[in-house]
Amino acid sequence: MPVRLSPSTVFLLALPPLLWAANAVVGRLVHGLVPPMTLNLLRWAVALLILLPLAHGIFRRGSPLWTQWRYYLLLGLWGVGAYNSLQYLALRTSQPLNVTLVGSAAPVWMLIVGRLFFHHPVQGREILGAVLSMAGVFTVLARGDFASLAALRLVPGDFFILLASISWAFYSWMMVRPAEGTESIRAHWARLLAAQIFYGLLWSSLFTATEWTLGTPVIHWGWPLAATIAFVGVFPAVVAYGTFSAGVRRVGPTIASFFTNLTPLFAALLSAAFLGEAPHLYHAAAFVLIVAGIVVSSRR
């Protein structure tokens, strides 16, 4: 049955990609003010404080938060701890547009991770979609010059966002293969997000402690950094997740997934406006290839 996209539904599904693109641009803007692991820890600490009044009951005795701690510990690692930390780390050396475009190939890694670790059967159209999406990724990595692939020198950020995409794939498969007994938390988006953040903060604290132990990071406290932490903790985390969940409930995950591919487009516009990093023709070609791959692999 066709799904009617009302203006309110389009708004619910288009707002998260805009906020996620803004998160990438802001992360690039403040990379000299705060270390990436520390920024991720502060971001999700703010988000958890906001969610606590909405996620009542998850900390009670006998809650799945405690009885299914292994599931939420891994969910917090892949979704909150590793993915977001690696994204902020990537933004220290890569442009937001490159990060969001390479990250758009996450469905490819979902296919690979699903087959190897979750026994998901692979179909021909999914392989074709993966090839198209990877062609888009290589277009970004080669900066549009495929002859240079033989001498390709990746910047560290390109490598980190690839790792982040793999982490997101594990997170996504765990979300669609939930542990038994977690229904009471999964029934409400605020409880589900708070549960992930709670355990994700444990991982983020470990990563931040390692960051400060192995290096000599510096935090430049001030209003710019405080405003950044408040923004990324409220909007790309809580607001984006909440509105996207509401949109998915209206139209389902398949249609909603296409809206996430607006993230590189928004990142290109915001980067040009705030960072002076104008997009190039190869960025457009990569975007078309990645979206084509996802469309092909999603067709019935």
SS3 breakdown of the chain: % helix, strand, coil, rounded to 5? 75, 0, 25
Q: Which pLDDT tens digit goes with each residue over 210-253?
A: 999 998 889 999 999 999 999 999 999 999 888 888 887 777 66
pLDDT number for residue 110? 75
pLDDT number for residue 5? 67
- The number of distinct structural domains making up the chain is 1
pLDDT-derived band at 144, boundaries 50, 70, 90: low
pLDDT-derived band at 176, boundaries 50, 70, 90: confident
Q: How many CB atoms lie within 10 A of CB 31?
A: 16
pLDDT-derived band at 107, boundaries 50, 70, 90: low
Residue 24 lies inside a defined structural domain of this protein: yes
Residue 3 lies inside a defined structural domain of this protein: no
The model carries a pTM of: 0.82
Q: Which domain holds residue 287?
A: 8-298
| Those residues with Cβ within 8 angstroms of residue 287's Cβ, 6 or more apart along the chain or in another chain | 101, 104, 136, 261, 264, 265
Q: How far, in Å, CA of 287 to CA of 264, rounded?
A: 7
pLDDT above 80 (res 260): no
Residue 212 lies inside a defined structural domain of this protein: yes
Structure tokens at 127: 């392989």
pLDDT number for residue 47? 96
Residue 210 lies inside a defined structural domain of this protein: yes
Q: How far, in Å, CA of 178 to CA of 184, rounded?
A: 12
Residue 67 lies inside a defined structural domain of this protein: yes
pLDDT number for residue 213? 94
pLDDT above 70 (res 152): no
Residue 2 lies inside a defined structural domain of this protein: no
Average pLDDT, the chain: 83
Residue 238 lies inside a defined structural domain of this protein: yes
pLDDT number for residue 252? 65
Q: Which percentage of the chain shows pLDDT scores above 90?
A: 33
- Please tell me which residue, 119 or 200, carries the higher pLDDT value: 200
pLDDT number for residue 1? 46
Q: Region 118-129: what's the mean pLDDT?
A: 77
Residue 185: exposed, middle, or buried by beta-carbon count in 10 A (0-12, 13-18, 19+)? buried
Q: Which percentage of the chain shows pLDDT scores above 70?
A: 86
Exposure string of 206-228, with b = 16+ CB inside 10 Å and e = fewer, is ebbeebeeeeeeeeeeeeebeeb
